[in-house]
Structure 1
C-alpha cells in the first residue's frame, strides 16, 4: 500500500485546541482499555492504552502527544486502578517514547504509511522494552509486548494507518 501525503498539525501550549484535542484523545485512552479489559488479558494482548497516543502524536505533534501519553495512564490508574502503580512507570516511559517517536517520524516524513507506523511501533517497543528490562530485571516482562501484545501492535499499525489516512484530509 502506498503512503499518503500527510501534514502534521502543531498547536502552541497557549492554544485552547491543544487541551481540547488532548482531552478527546485521553477520553479515548480511558474508554478503549475498559472495553479491551472485558477480554481476558485484553490489556496485555491488545495494548489499548497506546492507541490514541499514537494518533494524537502522529497527527497533532509532540505537545498533544505527550499530554495524552502522560495523562492517559495516570487517569486510568487513578480512576480504574489499571495500570497498577507497579507498572505505571513503565507505561509512562513507553507511552512517552511513543509520543516522541510518532511526532518526529510524522514531522520529518510528512507521510503516513504502514512502514512509518511499523517503524514507530517497533522503535518505541524496543527502547521501552530495554527500559523495562533495566527497571524490572525481567527479560520476560521486557519482551511481553512483542509476544503477548503482538496483536495490539498490529492493531496500532493497521488501525492507526486507517484513522491517520482519514485525518490526512483535514486541516485543523
Structure 2
C-alpha cells in the first residue's frame, strides 16, 4: 500500500524546523515514560525512536536529526533513561534513523509500508553493527532483533498511519 502525502524538507536556518522538532521531542519523551511502565516496555516497544521516524520522514532529515539527538539526551538528563552507558548506542540508532527516514522520503516522495520497513530494517541493521563495534558483544547488540520486533512493527505500521492520517497537512 502506497500513499502520496505532502513531505517537507525543513532546513536548520528555517525557524519552523524547531517548533516541529520540539513537538516530536516531546512525543519521544512522553511515549517512553508511558511504555516504561510495562515490564521491558522500552526494550520491547523501542519508543524513543517512534517520533524520530515520523519527524524525519514528514519534515526532512534535518528536523529528524534535531529530534534524534535532543530526545535521548533530554530523556537521559530529565528521567535517567536511557542510562548514560547506553546513550551512545541510542544516539547512534536515532541519528541513523533520522538520516534513513529523511533521505528515503526525499528520494521517493511518498510513504509506503515497504519503504518504512526498509528504513526501520536499515537503521536497525546498521545500528546493530555499530553497537556491536561500540560494546564488543553481538548478543547484546542484537537485542532489538530478539526483543524489539513489536517496536519495529509499531514504527512501520504506526508510522505509516501517523504520517498518512494524523499529520496529513
TM-score, normalised by the number of residues in structure 2: 0.97
Match of 1:164 in 2: 163
Whole-Å separation in 2 of the counterparts to 1:160 and 1:20: 20
Whole-Å separation in 2 of the counterparts to 1:23 and 1:78: 16
Match of 1:56 in 2: 55
Whole-Å separation in 2 of the counterparts to 1:98 and 1:61: 12
Tell me whether 140-149 or 94-103 shows the greater mean CA deviation.
Answer: 140-149
Match of 2:77 in 1: 78
Q: What secondary structure is seen at the aligned counterpart in 2 of 1:16?
A: coil
Whole-Å separation in 2 of the counterparts to 1:11 and 1:118: 23
Match of 1:143 in 2: 142
Match of 2:127 in 1: 128
CA positional deviation for 1:8: 1.7
Distance 1:19 1:9, change over 3 A: same
Q: Is the 8 A contact 1:5 1:168 kept in 2?
A: no
Extract structure 1 runs of 4+ deviating beyond 3 A.
Answer: none
Match of 1:3 in 2: 2
Whole-Å separation in 2 of the counterparts to 1:11 and 1:120: 19
CA positional deviation for 1:167: 5.3
Whole-Å separation in 2 of the counterparts to 1:37 and 1:47: 10
Whole-Å separation in 1 of the counterparts to 2:154 and 2:56: 16
- Flag structure 2 segments of 5+ consecutive residues without an equivalent: none
Q: What secondary structure is seen at the aligned counterpart in 1 of 2:133?
A: helix
- How much is the aligned-residue C-alpha RMSD, in angstroms? 1.0
- Flag structure 1 segments of 5+ consecutive residues without an equivalent: none
CA positional deviation for 1:63: 1.1
Whole-Å separation in 2 of the counterparts to 1:53 and 1:103: 10
